[in-house]
Amino acid sequence: MFTVIGEALVDVVWRPGAAEPVELVGGSPANVALGLARLGDPAGLITQYGPDEHGARIVARLGAAGVALDRSDAGAARTATATARVGADGAAAYEFDLAWAPKDLTPYPGSVAVHAGSLATLAPGDAVLAGMLAGVRGSTVVSYDPNVRPTLHGPVEHARDQVARFVALAHLVKASADDLAWLYPGEPVEAVAARWLAAGPSLVVVTLGADGGYLATAGYQLRCAAPPVDVVDTVGAGDACMSALLDGLYRAGALTLDALPALPADTARQVLHRALTAAAITCGRAGADPPTAAELAARLAG
């Protein structure tokens, strides 16, 4: 079982030239849980949603994929939304209407990893999340994706402190080049990764958009090219990458506290290439629509 913690919401997506938006179930952690389930992994999401139509859509979509759901606060008044405006290049800018205030967080029994990040690190729920991760990181792999949203995570000085706090609790960190550009403008990816590794993680991955991905451990660094794709939009691409990273490491026998620090470079390259391929598949279709195991295998075979 994989435990994923954080927001599930409805993306209200405006595309160039469209007269009306399209509503899609999203939220970075929800997308990661969906991606894991589609790759054949048991996954449970600890989240919040309200007793409304949007909440029912979340239950239906994730439930259909086999994702277990645990509402961390059954008293949520409404389901969160994110308005996404997609530009001509397929990139999306977001505006959010949400709150994150869990009273208690407990991983699913038997979890091989606990993944958190994105808006789950916002106050007031950040303290509850940090306390839970601190309690499990000695026995379970913790992964973290900052998935920074400047309108919610700012001011940048506060965001840097929050990111550093959760990086230190994680064994695996995945971020995007856009995250780093906002948090640490002008600083090379390699320098940020080295600082994060020194804080505690065993593995840092940075997605570089059309330039592929960068992976670093204490012993080596490597880069992988991005698979070719005709981009429809980038919604959920980073989350598909995160799901495939976790799945790939698990299938390689590397998602343990002992194995992750000793990850061989050739295995790391294969896992990163596979994760970038999952992201490319997602970029090639509308919305957060991560691939199934069969789709990913077919693309890798082709």
pLDDT value at residue 134: 98
Whole-angstrom distance, CA of residue 272 vs CA of residue 103? 35
SS3 content of the chain, % helix, strand, coil (to 5): 40, 20, 40
Query: What residue numbers bound the domain in which 107 lies?
Result: 2-301
- CA separation (Å) from 29 to 26, 69, 81, 229, 265? 8, 12, 14, 24, 28
pLDDT value at residue 73: 63
Whole-angstrom distance, CA of residue 178 vs CA of residue 51? 34
| DSSP 8-state assignment for residue 239 | H
pLDDT value at residue 103: 84
Which tokens hold the place of 258?
A: 């002992």
pLDDT value at residue 154: 81
pLDDT value at residue 77: 73
Radius of gyration of the chain (CA): 18
Whole-angstrom distance, CA of residue 52 vs CA of residue 49? 8
* CATH number of 206's domain: 3.40.1190.20
> At CA 240, angle to CA 2 and CA 139, rounded to 5?
25
**Contact at 8 Å (CB) between 4 and 45?**
yes
Query: Model pTM?
Result: 0.93
pLDDT value at residue 87: 83
Task: Give every CB contact of residue 31 below 8 A, 6+ residues apart in sequence.
Answer: 236, 239, 240, 243, 288, 290
Long-range pairs of 150-157 with CB within 8 A, sequence gap ≥ 24? 150/182, 151/94, 151/95, 151/96, 152/96, 152/119, 152/122, 153/122, 156/182, 156/183
* Chunked mean pLDDT (size 10), the chain, 302 residues: 94 83 89 98 94 92 95 73 81 79 91 95 92 97 94 89 97 97 97 98 96 97 95 90 98 98 98 98 91 97 88
pLDDT value at residue 171: 98
Based on the structure, what is the number of domains in the chain? 1
Task: Give every CB contact of residue 3 below 8 A, 6+ residues apart in sequence.
Answer: 43, 44, 46, 107, 108, 111, 113, 114, 115
pLDDT value at residue 40: 97
